[in-house]
Amino acid sequence: MASSYHLNGVEAWDGCTASAHALRQAQVDVVAAYPITPSTPIIQNYGSFKDNGYIDGEFVLVESEHAAMSACVGAAAAGGRVSTATSSQGFALMVEVLYQAAGMRLPIVLNVANRALASPLNIHCDHSDMYLGRDSGWISLCTCNPQEVYDFTLMAFKLAEHTGVRVPVMVHQDGFLSSHTVQNVRPLADHVAYKFVGDYVPVHPMLDFDKPVSYGAQAEEEWHFEHKAKLHHAIMESSAVLEEIFKDFAKITGRQYNVLETFDMEDAEVAIFALGTTWESAIVAAKKAREKGIKAGVVTTHLLRPFPFVALGEIFKKAKAVAIMDKSSPSGALGALFNEVAASLYQVQGSRHPVLSNYIYGLGGRDLTQADLDGIFEELSQDAQKGALTHPTQQFIGLNGPKLSYF
C-alpha cells in the first residue's frame, strides 16, 4: 500500500516534476524507461517516489528507449496502466515501437520533453522529435508551461483509456524552457486526481492462458487497410472526447482548456501561430503591437494530432496576414506546421485566405527574442496593408549571420 504524499495548495514545480507527480497520482501500474536529457528528471522523480513508498506500481529500468517502449507495449497488452518518458534521440529510437503500440490500440501515455535531433548533437529544445512522431498513430497533446504539463498528463490517461478512443497519447513540453523552468503549479489532491482519471478498465483483464489473445498479428492486403482506417477514425473522433474531458476537468479545477487557444483574435488583422512556450512570448509581443496600432493576435493548439483543420481555418478566415512559427528544420521544404495551417485554410469554403509566411526559429535552443517577435508583427502589418507578401514566404530568424530566406 503506497504511503500518502502531502501537497500544498501551490507548488513550485518545473515541467518534469509536474509530469512525475501526475504519473504518481494516476497510479500507473508499469513505468519502463531509459533516461535521456531533458526528460530524465521525470523518470528520476518517479523512481524516488517508488523508493520512498509513494507508489505501488512497477518501475522497470531497461537498456534503451526502444526496449522501454517495447516493455510498455507488453505491460499494456497484459492489462496495465502504462507510461514512460523520453526526448530527442531516445524518441527516435522509440519510433519503430510507437507504430506497434498505436496499431495494437494500447492506451500508453508518453511524456516527451522536446529536444533537437542530431546531428550535430544538441541537448536543447526544438520540435524535431515532436514532428518525427506526429504520424505514428498517437494522439499528440501540446503544452505551454508546467501547469499544463501536469493537467494534460492526467487528462491523457482519461483520453487514451476512453472506450471510444483506445489510442496511445503523447504529452509534449518544451525541453528546459518548460521541463526545467520552475513555475507555480496548482495540483489536485491525490484522491481527487485519481478519481478524475478513474480506475483502469483494460479491454482484456489480464493475460489468460485459458483465453489467449494475440497482439500484433500480421495483416496483409486483405486487412491492413482496414486496421489503419479504424485507427485514423478513432484519432479523428478523439477531439470531441477531449473537449468533454476539458469540461470535466474545468469543473474540478476552474481551469478551462480548449483545443485551440486564442489571444485577441476577435478583431485581429495579423496573427502568429506557434506551439509550446512561444505562445506566451508571442502574447507579450501582440500586446506591444496593439500599442502601436497593429491589430495583433496569437493562436496555439493543444492538439497536434488530430490536427484541428476546420476550427483553425475558421479562426483565421478574417485575418489578413498570418505567421506560422516552425521550431524545426524544414530540411528542403516549407515548415511542417506551415503546411498543416495552409491546408486548414483551404477547408473553409468560400472565404478569403490570409497571406501566409513561414518563420523557422529556435533550432537547437536558439533564443527567440521579443525583438524577433516585434519584427514579425511589423512584417505582418506590411503584408496586411499590401494584401500580399512583402518578403519571402520562408525566413530563418535569429541566425548568427545573414538572414536566410527561401520560397
CATH of the domain at 282: 3.40.50.920
Is 196 inside a domain boundary? yes
**373 and 285 Cβ atoms separated by less than 8 Å:** yes
Q: Looking at the structure, do residues 247 and 314 belong to the same domain, yes or no? A: no
The mean pLDDT value of the chain amounts to 95
Residue that finishes a domain, picked among 253, 272, 302: 253
pLDDT at 393: 96
Q: Buried b / exposed e across 180-195, counting CB within 10 Å, b at 16+?
A: bbeeebbbbebeebbe
Whether the predicted pLDDT of 83 surpasses 90: yes
Report the pLDDT value the prediction gives residue 1, as an integer from 0 to 100.
Answer: 62
- The proportion of the chain whose per-residue pLDDT surpasses 70, expressed as a percent, equals 98
Express as a percent the part of the chain with pLDDT over 90: 89
Both 160 and 70 in a single domain? yes
**The three grid cell numbers given for residue 174, joined into one nine-digit string:** 518544451
Q: How confident is the model at residue 351, as a pLDDT?
A: 63
Assess if residue 311 is contained within a domain: yes
DSSP β-ladder status, 355-360 and 394-396: parallel
Q: Are residues 79 and 115 in the same domain?
A: yes
1 lies in some domain? no
Domain span at residue 335 reads 261-406
Mean pLDDT of 358-379: 98
Going by C-alpha positions, the residue among 37, 187, 29 that lies closest to residue 112 is: 37
**pLDDT over 70 (residue 61):** yes
Residues 324 and 230 in one domain: no
Same domain (yes/no): 221, 304: no
Residue 58 is assigned to a structural domain of this protein: yes
Q: With 90 as the cut, is the pLDDT of residue 213 above it?
A: no
Number of structural domains found in the chain: 2
Domain termination residue (choose one: 253, 277, 300) = 253
Q: Within a domain: residue 343?
A: yes
Does residue 2 fall inside a structural domain?
no
pLDDT of 348 reads 77
Examine residue 3 and state whether it is found in any structural domain, yes or no: no
pLDDT tens for each residue of 90-108:
999 999 999 999 999 999 9
Kindly state whether residues 206 and 277 are assigned to the same domain: no
* 205 plus 277 within the same structural domain: no
Indicate whether 267 and 236 sit together in one domain.
no
In this structure, the answer to whether residues 364 and 385 fall within a common structural domain is: yes
Q: What is the pLDDT of residue 229?
A: 98
342 & 193 share domain: no
Question: Which tens digit of pLDDT belongs to each residue from 280-323?
Answer: 999 999 999 999 999 999 999 999 999 999 999 999 989 999 99
Binned at pLDDT 50, 70 and 90, residue 203 comes out as confident
